[in-house]
Amino acid sequence: MKSNFREWTLDKIDEAFTVQQVDNLVVLDDLLAFEYPINEYEKNYLNVLSHNYISYGGDDWNEVELENKFISPLIVFSGIDNKKFAYFLERELSHTIGEFELSGKVDGMIATGFRNPKKPYFCLNEYKRQTDPNGDPRGQCLIAMLVAQYLNENKNPILGCYVIGRSWYFMALSGKEYAISNVYACTNEEIFDIFRILKGIRVMIEGWIGGK
């Protein structure tokens, strides 16, 4: 049965793939607790991004504008890219799991590969508004993470994030369990937490596969 990522919600995923949302997952807890001392240069840049979002209509940006004006500048600035893995945008993921031929375009992913993605370890979905006619942001992110898990033969946890306007939520999938963080707002000092967590994502993936 062919199925696009856009069709999936958390309830459908729970039922079809017998996964379960839990309150706490060690890998997510470790990621959210990652410590990184932000320097003055980084702090100034992040303050500019946050100021621009507030002052120049960020809540009314469409998805392309949100991606180009805020999400990608923030992720690239966190120093994700290296010779072994990188941040890729608008790439296809697909895999057959059970009776479902799953496929879809992921807004952003961190995957091994230099010019093209190979094995993904992080998936990101972005939405313009909290209520979107094209589906459930949590479900679309999780189904992409589930495909990533199978592509990695379940050797490591898969990390994720979905962004709804100014609100960022981080996710992790380990085995048959997944967890979702509380919200982080990019329009206040929590932007430093978002940046710190992005730094932690790189460190975590380096620990799994070696980054340099």
**CB neighbour list of residue 212: distance below 8 Å, 6 or more residues apart:** 82, 83, 84, 206
Instruction: Show the tokens assigned to 36.
Output: 């990184």
Q: How many domains does the chain have?
A: 1
How far is residue 203's CA from residue 206's CA, in Å, rounded to a whole number? 5
**CB neighbour list of residue 72: distance below 8 Å, 6 or more residues apart:** 87, 89, 108
Mean pLDDT on 157-172: 96
pTM summary value = 0.95
Cβ burial of 118 (10 Å; 0-12, 13-18, 19+) is: exposed
The percent of residues above 90 in pLDDT, for the chain, comes to 89
Average pLDDT, the chain: 93
- Which domain range does residue 13 map to? 2-209
pLDDT at 211: 47
pLDDT per residue as tens digits for the range 116-145: 999 999 999 987 554 455 568 999 999 999
CA distances from 196 to 22, 43, 65, 142 (A): 23, 11, 23, 22
Asked if 79 and 205 touch (Cβ cutoff 8 Å), the reply is no
Q: At what angle do helices 190-209 and 40-55 cross, to 10 degrees?
A: 120
